[in-house]
A and B are shown apart, each in its own frame.
Chain A
Amino acid sequence: MSDQIHALNRTERELISFRISDQEFCVDIMSVREIRGWTQATPLPRTPSFVRGVINLRGAVLPVIDLGSRLGLQTERPTERHVIIVTRIGEQMVGLLVDAVCDIIAVTDALIQATPDVASDLVDRFVRGIFSLEGRMISLVALDRVLPDLEAEAA
């Protein structure tokens, strides 16, 4: 019995899913520190357009990445309805700007399929895998690739 629970725990993980335009994505819940509303960010000079700027997270300077723009999607100007998901990527804290948070979902690794071979480089680079839940398709975001300096290293 306990072995079964153990096996279950090992393969099942919890994810936070969120929406950008009409697509649904998710990240591992363990990498999410908090979720907060959109506040006006201070833009940084000479940075890629998907870096929205920096905000004050209780005294720390937190960069905000427009995840939609990063994934090559059409994004609108952020409004108060937008949400920043504060995630920990390696040693750094990074805010991800998304349209809305949907759900907390539990999936087993077995359900996650490899990313289908589509033409987009961006999808290839930032989506680790996809799975289907109640008819919705949800993509698992490769968090460690969203920061621009890591991209520079890869290039």
Chain B
Amino acid sequence: MDPLEAIKITFFQECEEQLSELETGLLAMEQGDSDSETINAVFRAVHSIKGGAGAFSLDPLVRFAHVFETTLDDVRAGKLAATNTVVKVMLQAADVLADHVRAARDGGTVEEARSAAQAQTLEALGDPSTASASSVPIFDTPIAPLAPEPQASQDDLMGDMVFTPLTVELSEAPASPVWILKFRAKPSLYAKANDTALLLRELARLGHVELLLDASDLPNLADLDPEGAYLTWVITLTTDRSEADIREVFEFVDGDCDLSLTPRPGEFETDPGPQSAEGPMPFEVAADVLTLIQQAQAITIETPIQPAQRINTSVPQAANTGSAPADSNGAAAAQATIRVDLDRVDRLIDLVGELVINQAMLAQRVAESGVSRSSNIAMGLDDLEHLTRDIQDSVMAIRAQPVKSVFQRMPRLVREVAALTGKQVRLVTEGEGTEVDKTVIECLTDPITHMIRNAIDHGLESTEARVRAGKSPEGMVRLTAAHRSGRIVIEVCDDGKGIDRPLVLQIAIDKGLIDPAASLSDEEIDNLIFMPGFSTASTVSNISGRGVGMDVVKRSIQALGGRITITSRPGLGSTFTLSLPLTLAVLDGMVVSVCEHTLVAPLTAIIESLLPKREDVRAMGPDAHVIAIRDTYTPLIDVGVVLGYRKSPLDPTQGVALLVEGEGGSRAALMVDAIQGQRQVVIKSLEANYRQVESIAAATILGDGRVALILDVDAVVATRRHDKPRHDLKLAAVG
């Protein structure tokens, strides 16, 4: 890949992080957090995006980020109060900024009018007089990439505000002893690849440093030995450390320099320095080594003509470990992450999966060989089993990610839907740190988006209706995530009007979804909204209510091996509860036998299993059967016939029927020979080395090392409609 492209990809990844930082910060400000750190974090996010975008010449993004940054700078400087109105505008601006970033990444464009309007609103916040006077003056000014603006010059110089320069006055530490160090490097010091800048920086960590460069020995350029050493530093160090600590800094250059260390000889200014002919030359110590070297070079060359000047010594806060050790440790811990290619993690997971299977096989072989359970071998195997389990858990944890990435998209959605519906909505999120496998995370966004839209559009009442009902005018939608018994449970809860059961029932009857005579429990009525083709919205809005609503959500959740339930209390609100497996790499399965073959049926699809009685099974047509389950006739499908293991169906009384629910809620009873048990199995793809096989979802490897196939229940149920088995049988008979 083009290296620039690779950097660009990283830039956009970082943009996403910055955008979420930005949103988090703004939301905190909305909640009344006016801490300067929060405002700085917000400013930093926008500033970094602008800086990076400038490097890639993403002009529309830079222009918008610049306007945003300018307004934020006013807030930071205290010129603009972060009132609720201001933060709201900024949240909208953050949305537009996010659009700009995505447009730049995906090659689209952001509606110029919307962007310009938002920029104008932002400018109006910062300076009401200019905004009305001209259209958008900033927009006509092209911004040079990475050019430091006057108002942010300090930050730009420091690279991304990692270091906040802090001026420390000498008078602040009067109690500490003062040491005068005279340090002159010999040529051998440089020859051994030592760097005086690093030594001086080390010294700065010990305490307050005032540094004078004595460059008087520096000869004219013609006489200068490029490998010689001519510089002497006179360092005034205010520190509580011992002499040994100070000497330790120079431990590695011992013998390669002249070092004198004298305690408190009197006032610094009065000390002329014995080698000084033109007077000492102080200069700024900065944390950045490069800066230091650049300045040293500049001064070295300019020494003969430069008058002596005194600059306040700055000790960078970040480098000053003595003053804030807890802070820097905390920051280091939070930053201790690495980016790893997902393929590598997947490979690791595959290998560990193999290890687990191998361990199980080994254990089985040892057990078969008749080794006693208390023998050393068996005990060693037990330890191995524990270790492999631990490794598997740890490896799966690598792929686990907090649901935060999904939850973070929701505040924007809520703002937009609230604006469209004219309702006042507050989103409360809990359990953002709940971790779940990456594959599951990717599948969560759509269902949650749909459920939240639904909660605002259908669940919450209009502001007037809420006031009439004696509720707070602001509706609340609560989004929570939690781990519960090995699954992740996500709840979308609103404090709206609840499900209007009589209306739901009436609509279902009107649409012919249910029998008018049927009597349904409250729960059954609530679940009607998951039926295909059901939509309670009397008018089709562009938010939700196209009639492809909750049944789609339910189906996509089921496809992930999840369940969705609803509880509703009239007048108090509804709660949608999603329960999903923590990973898509393992599956809870029912292990069954069909014609001597072992198959796995996904447990989520199975409603119940039963032993059919002869009188329950009826023939329908030439070779189809139905089974009566509590007076409902359900098609009976012989799995062995569908998979071509046998030609004629098993005698129903000799087997077990699994009542399953397929796509769209259609039910069928699948006949198998026997149930072996329930087991968690690791899903293995068939497509990786072969191709998709009809009626089979995937494969897995059982404890005995054999491959077992996982049934695609939907496909098996669907084959009945296509009449495939009989078609094949006829062909076989003819041929």
Contacts and interface: CB of A to CB of B under 8 A. Distances in A.
Interface of A: 40-47, 53-56, 58-63, 92-94, 147-149
Contacts of B597: 42-43
Interface string B632-645: 00000000001111
B689 A56 contact: no
A94 B689 contact: yes
B17 interface: no
Given A45-B644, A61-B686, A56 B693 contact: no
A58 B356 CA distance: 11
A149 B694 CA distance: 13
B115 to A, nearest CB: 44
Interface in B686-705: 686, 688-691, 693-696, 699, 701, 705
A44 B709 contact: yes
Nearest to A51: B690
Contacts of A149: 691
A46 B695 contact: yes
A55 B705 CA distance: 9
B357 A61 contact: no
Contacts of B706: 40, 42, 56
A60 B695 contact: no
B689 A61 contact: yes
B162 to A, nearest CB: 44
B688 A44 contact: no
Given A40-B706, A56-B705, 9 more contacts: A42-B709, A45-B642, A45-B695, A46-B693, A56-B701, A60-B350, A61-B684, A61-B688, A63-B690
Contacts of B645: 45
B694 A45 contact: yes
B704 to A, nearest CB: 10
A53 B353 CA distance: 21
Interface string B690-729: 1101111001010001111100000000000000000010
B708 A44 contact: no
Contact of B354 (A55, A58, A63, A147): A58
Contact of B707 (A46, A47, A54): A54
B358 to A, nearest CB: 8
Contacts of B194: none
Given A56-B701, A92-B689, A94-B689, A61 B694 contact: no
Contacts of B350: 59-60
Contact of B689 (A41, A43, A46, A62): A62
A61 B643 contact: no
B685 interface: yes
A71 B44 CA distance: 68
A46 B643 contact: yes
A54 B695 CA distance: 16
Contacts of B688: 60-61, 92
Nearest to A62: B689
A46 B694 CA distance: 7
Q: Which of A56, A58, A92 lies at the interface centre, i.e. has the most chain B CB atoms within 10 A of its CB?
A: A56
A92 B688 CA distance: 7
Interface in B500-537: none
B391 to A, nearest CB: 14
A53 B643 CA distance: 13
Given A42-B707, A42-B708, A56-B705, A61 B690 contact: yes
Nearest to A46: B694
A-B interface, 7 closest residue pairs, ranked by CB to CB distance from nearest? A59-B354, A45-B643, A63-B690, A42-B707, A61-B699, A92-B689, A61-B684
Nearest to B692: A149
Given A42-B709, A46-B694, A59-B350, A54 B686 contact: yes
Contacts of B708: 42
Contacts of B643: 45-46
Contact of B690 (A40, A45, A54, A59): A54
B689 A60 contact: yes
B644 A59 contact: no
B693 A55 contact: no
A94 B685 CA distance: 14
A148 B685 CA distance: 18
Q: Which of B351, B354, B688, B691 lies at the interface centre, i.e. has the most chain A CB atoms within 10 A of its CB?
A: B691
5 contacts: A42-B707, A45-B644, A56-B706, A61-B701, A63-B690
A70 to B, nearest CB: 14
Q: Which of A59, A60, A93, A149 lies at the interface centre, i.e. has the most chain B CB atoms within 10 A of its CB?
A: A59
A54 B643 CA distance: 15
Contacts of B699: 42, 54, 61
A44 B689 contact: no
A149 B693 CA distance: 11
Given A59-B357, A61-B686, A44 B701 contact: no
A55 B706 CA distance: 7
Interface in B326-356: 350-351, 353-354
A90 B708 CA distance: 25
Contact of B357 (A42, A54, A56, A147): A56
Contacts of B684: 59-61
A119 to B, nearest CB: 23
B59 to A, nearest CB: 41
A148 B692 CA distance: 12
B360 to A, nearest CB: 12
A92 B691 CA distance: 10
Nearest to A55: B707
Contacts of A44: 686, 690, 693, 696, 709
A60 to B, nearest CB: 7
A43 B643 CA distance: 10
Nearest to A149: B691
Nearest to B693: A44
A128 B689 CA distance: 23
B411 to A, nearest CB: 42
Nearest to A58: B354
A57 to B, nearest CB: 9
A35 to B, nearest CB: 17
B600 to A, nearest CB: 12
B719 to A, nearest CB: 10
Contacts of B696: 44-45
A126 to B, nearest CB: 18
B507 to A, nearest CB: 42
Contacts of B642: 45
B707 A61 contact: yes
Nearest to B728: A46
Q: Which of B350, B642, B701 lies at the interface centre, i.e. has the most chain A CB atoms within 10 A of its CB?
A: B701
A72 to B, nearest CB: 17
Contacts of B728: 46
Contacts of A43: 597
A53 B688 CA distance: 15
Contacts of B351: 59
Contacts of A55: 707
Contacts of A60: 350, 354, 684, 688-689
Contacts of B685: 61
A93 B691 CA distance: 12
B86 to A, nearest CB: 55
Contacts of B693: 44-47
Nearest to A40: B706
Given A42-B706, A56-B357, A56-B707, A63 B689 contact: yes
